[in-house]
Amino acid sequence: MSLPPSGANPMRFGWVGSHMEGLPAFEALLAAGADIAAALTLTAEAAAKRSGAADYEPLCRRGGVPLHRVSDVNSADAIALLRSLDLDVLFVIGWSQILRADALATARLGVVGAHASLLPRNRGSAPINWALIRGERETGNSLLWLADGVDTGAVIDRSAIAITPYDTCATLYERVAVTNRDMLLRLWRRLLNGERPGTPQPADAPDAPLPRRRPADGLLDWHGASHRVYDFVRALTRPYPGAFGHLQGERWTVWQAALPPLDAIPIAEPGTCLGPVVSPADDACGQLVACGQGAVTLLEVESENGRVLRGRALGEADWRGLTWDREGAS
């Protein structure tokens, strides 16, 4: 990556992040020579409760960036720390807490964040997960100046991301991470050249902010069409807690599934295990389960006690005729 013009004024930046989607951007800025005064990330206890948490310590150690761990970026201690850094711009990438006014006021030019959608669409929580659950074919990533309100600030840059039938939340967040890197490098150069780009969003948002998702929201509904069940599984797979259901009173998480060409008609009572799917390729084996329309092939599942079945081992399970139950009754 080339450096900005030699006559550019030096600027001090700070970083707040805890999710893996921010790591490539953080690393690229350090490699390009950005003056990052310090980074804030979550405490180990808080990070353990978040999906996709990233460890910033190795990069900070390598780049000589002081790393501070906080449980709440809006706490008095965190605000005092941010103020002491004397920042021009604060980057907040991969952070679930909404910054309040005091935190937003700690950098002279403002606070820059990223939201994994093409704003103003899909403001709010878990935009990648919701895009998959809804069967959308395109998502994206937006760089914006953070302001009061949920993802309402002026948009600096946007990158569209196509959603293929093979994508999961993990593969899409990998591409979000790449766009974070590319957009932040472009912005960094523009900031050093004295620019402050940003286009205000329309005051009338097209829809309400997306609601927050919790692990309990991963309960599978087999009555939907097979493509809906498939989308639900791939939206919640690792690093998220996963879609789940109950079979003979035991809770199972479904980590991976596939769509056979059986989408047109109901086959059996939704949730009924129809039998094994057999293939010379081990990772294509599994169990076929009826949906409201068509069926899905389960390729990898995990019981509540940690027993993992995948491929041929899952296909050999004696599940034919058993029915997945939403309430966990035997």
CA 323 distance to own-chain centroid: 31
> What is the token pair recorded at 195?
């620019």
The amino acid at residue 206 is P
Residue ranges of the alpha helices (H) in 71-161? Answer: 76-84, 101-104, 127-133
pTM above the 0.95 mark? no
Mean pLDDT for 280-284 is 94
In a domain, 284, yes or no: yes
> 223 and 182, same structural domain?
no
> What is the token pair recorded at 18?
């805890």
Distance CA 275, CA 254 (A): 16
> 290 and 238, same structural domain?
yes
Q: What is the mean pLDDT of the chain?
A: 93
Distance CA 316, CA 330 (A): 21
Mean pLDDT for 242-246 is 97
Tell me phi and psi for residue 76, to 5 degrees. Answer: -60, -40
Q: How confident is the model at residue 252 (pLDDT cuts 50, 70, 90)?
A: very high
Q: Do residues 146 and 188 lie in contact, with contact meaning Cβ atoms separated by under 8 Å?
A: no
- Give the model confidence (pLDDT) of 261-270 as tens digits: 866 667 799 9
36 CB-near residues (< 8 Å, 6+ apart): 13, 14, 15, 26, 29, 30, 63, 65
> 184 and 53, same structural domain?
yes
Q: What percentage of the chain has pLDDT greater than the value 90?
A: 87
- Number of structural domains the chain divides into: 2
- CATH code (residue 165): 3.40.50.170
Mean pLDDT for 275-304 is 95
CB atoms closer than 10 angstroms to residue 143? 27
> 104 and 23, same structural domain?
yes
Q: Do residues 287 and 315 lie in contact, with contact meaning Cβ atoms separated by under 8 Å?
A: yes
- Give the model confidence (pLDDT) of 25-84 as tens digits: 999 999 999 999 999 999 999 988 888 899 999 999 999 999 999 999 999 999 999 999
